[in-house]
Amino acid sequence: MGGVAVAEEPVVTAGWSSFQNGGRPVSLGKLPTSWSPEDGVAWKAEMAGYGQSTPVLHDGRLFVTSTSGANKEVYQLTAIDLVTGEKRWQLDLRNPSPEANNAYVSRAAPSPVADGDGVIALFEGGICVAVDGEGTVRWQRDLVEAYGPIDARHGLAASLEQDATRVFVWIERSGDPYVLALDKKTGETVWKAPGLGASGWASPRLIPTEWGDQLVCSGSGKLVGFDPQAGERLWEFTEISNNTTCTPMPVSPGRFLIGASDGRGEVGGGNAAASNGVIEIVRDDQGKFAPRFLWRAERAVSSFASPVAAAGKAWIVNRAGVLYRLDLETGEEISAKRTDAGGVWATPLITDEHLYLAGTQGETSVFSLQDGSLVAHNRLWESDAAAGAAPGGREGGGVGQGPPLAGRGATLYSVSAAPPYLIFRRGDRLIAVKE
């Protein structure tokens, strides 16, 4: 265990503009803590197809992606009214790289980003499109046409990341992987850099440092930091394993939480707990960056849900739904409890008082940030009624074997905040909960 100065809480921005809200899955507004299938569900919005992405919020509308057809021939970007759940518009896009639509591959997994100009979405077939709030296409790119086929085990899962002027795209394909920065106004390539050459289904993440933001990508056995302005590879860190699915989560300038699974089905193995912890980006006398673990967990391991920081604690949930609380300064384990949420793929959501843990089968446990006690446990749908909701479903891929795939029946992929609403993403629908 190593020491670390008291960590700052994440800076929170209004809205929910990207996957995990840019690494800050925090709600500033009041959210419901209790609901059931009969009480508290404000609306349900059925999707045209199936999708695994997180919806984003822009100007009172939710934007969500999906795909349909036996070979994912069509992608959809749909706008849903936040208050009523009504569909405002739907943009259909032809997939230039059709492949079998089944539970073994990602299906509209990359989450879009939103800003003042509208929404930018990426699909695993290589389409990247920018639209305004009314669904008018501002620009569209075919990355397969520009840079070749996207051949990736289980498909593509990395969501988009953004700053004020650029959107960052990570294509970790089997051969010649790459990272792109695209101009948000025009879609033109600002820079293109080699990818990691490592299996990974995490998303790129901007990490603030005292030297400016760094774009960090996490793949099996490797972390790489890029200069988001020019694409230069600033550093590479290899003292880690089993880190294929969790996205880096900023804690304070130059520091971020990283998660790793138990390594089932993953090359490399190793002590997964030792690859969960806080990493600090430092700079030596020669000006070279040298990341290091400030502390490593002793028992806590992650699954698909990235670890989060709240109330001076690191919160980590494993594949069985065991929730660990660790001191954010030292990594000392404070508590570990098995929850009723079951398997969890959605990164926990945080408010000023609570942490929401949403399980794949629609069970959500709400915990107190103060002492980790259970505040409420809620069911979003009846299991029997939801059976068969995931077309072509099978039990999700084992931890370490790929991105979250479809389970049997309905599968919950994300929970996000749009106060006073909680927004849940099931493969086939959005569900809004409100007090």
Going by the DSSP 8-state scheme, the letter that residue 20 receives in this structure is H
22 CA to centre of own chain:
9
Q: Dump pLDDT digits (tens) for 164-194.
A: 999 999 999 989 999 999 999 999 999 999 9
Residues 27, 12: Cα–Cα separation, whole Å: 8
Does the CA dihedral 276-282-286-287 come out positive or negative?
positive
Which of residues 90 and 15 earns the better pLDDT score? Answer: 90
Q: Which pLDDT band holds residue 6 (cuts at 50, 70, 90)?
A: very low
Q: Which pLDDT band holds residue 199 (cuts at 50, 70, 90)?
A: confident
Both tokens assigned to 174: 């089997």
Encoded amino acid at 131, one letter: V
Residues 67, 74: Cα–Cα separation, whole Å: 6
For 221-253, the DSSP string reads TEEEEE-TTT--EEEEE-S--S-SSPPPEEEET
pLDDT at 15: 81
For 306, left (φ over 0), alpha (ψ -120 to 50), or beta?
Answer: beta
Q: Dump pLDDT digits (tens) for 108-125.
A: 999 999 999 999 999 999
Task: Give the residue-averaged pLDDT of 363-387.
Answer: 89
Cβ atoms of 359 and 344 within 8 Å: the answer is: yes
Contacts of 79 (CB under 8 A, 6+ apart): 61, 62, 63, 87, 88, 89, 90, 133, 135
Cβ atoms of 244 and 262 within 8 Å: the answer is: no
Residues 282, 235: Cα–Cα separation, whole Å: 10
Cβ atoms of 274 and 296 within 8 Å: the answer is: yes
Q: Dump pLDDT digits (tens) for 392-432.
A: 333 334 334 455 554 556 899 999 999 999 999 999 999 99
Instruction: For residue 164, give Cα distances in angstroms to 49, 140, 196.
Output: 31, 19, 25
Question: Minimum mean pLDDT among 101-115, 197-211, 272-286, 421-435: which range?
Answer: 101-115
Share in percent of the chain as helix, strand, coil (round to 5) = 5, 40, 55
pLDDT at 132: 97
Nearest residue to 165 (alpha-carbon basis) of 113, 125, 208, 124 = 113
The continuous run of DSSP H or E covering 308 comes out as strand 308-310
Considering the segment(s) 20-433 as one domain, its CATH architecture is 7 Propeller (2.130)
Q: Dump pLDDT digits (tens) for 8-34.
A: 333 344 589 999 999 999 998 999 999
pLDDT at 8: 39
Q: Is the pLDDT of residue 390 over 60?
A: no
